[in-house]
Structure 1
Amino acid sequence: MGAVEQGIEYYLSKEDKLGKEQKNKTDSYFGNMFHNEYKINQIRHQWNKDTYSLEDDMILDFSFELTFEPKKLIIGIPIWDKVGNSITSFNSDYKCTKIFNGNYKVSGQFKTKCYFNPNQYGSVFVVVDGSEFIYRDRNEDFLVSNKERVFGYVTLPHEWIVNE
């Protein structure tokens, strides 16, 4: 409501403020953090442990409230090691998991097994509607500490068969 010039000035000042906030929240290889508070609120996401061993269950609990009806809601969880190497990424679209079922209060869990080799890892919780990012922020880092000496980023499930 009001003059067009005032509306434009208001919008540009909000964009400038948001840009400065986002720049301050940028964390090297994790990229820009983002929260569209007009579309998503009461966001919670947390790993079930801060230290894992090989083949432990890794569970990320999450919940949030939407203030709009999404077209195609997708959750993503990219993971990096402590020096910024991209290790892997998980997303609900890959498994054709429907996130929005008409309930605007969304909650659930992401589950996987720990196949990461010893290191400290960082991850991000991302919520996207179609191609529009509506939320992107870091999870707490987690540590993987195995006793075995290993090489590479992951130790995939496997078995050895020796013929007699």
Structure 2
Amino acid sequence: MLDANEGPTEAQFEFITFSAGNQSFCLEIMQIREIRRWTPVTKLPHTPDDVLGVMNLRGAVIPIFDLSARFGLGETPDNERNVVIVAAAGGTTIGLLVESVSEILSVAKSSIQETPDMKSDAARQAIVGVISVGESMVRVVNLDAVLDQEGGVAA
């Protein structure tokens, strides 16, 4: 029961934070199905540079994107800490290669700041907000917009 002096608490949002292109990003925890160690994928011909190939995930074939390359931050370097975040949006399941997964971040909605106007529609659509964490900023990824970029997966 609430104390008479207390109001209802603001809803908390949970995100998984990760690194791609030496930058901090996050996805809503409800979009993430699992986090897997990096394993080689099956390459497909005529795919964009940021599509690494496909992976068999318990009988379902899913595309694997290099998120750093997708955001124009260069290819993800080979590293034993690299992981694939298996995520779902709009009925589509995909894998995102990232450098590492950091932590679960729980924040109030008021802590998520709007993405500043950078004169780039792609940036505004792919990043829906930023969260201050200590001295750094974590970018909130809009998974639907990442999929809708040219060369993406049709939902």
Which bin holds the TM-score, normalised by the shorter protein? under 0.3
The alignment's TM-score, normalised by the length of structure 2, stands at 0.27
Q: TM-score, normalization: structure 1?
A: 0.26
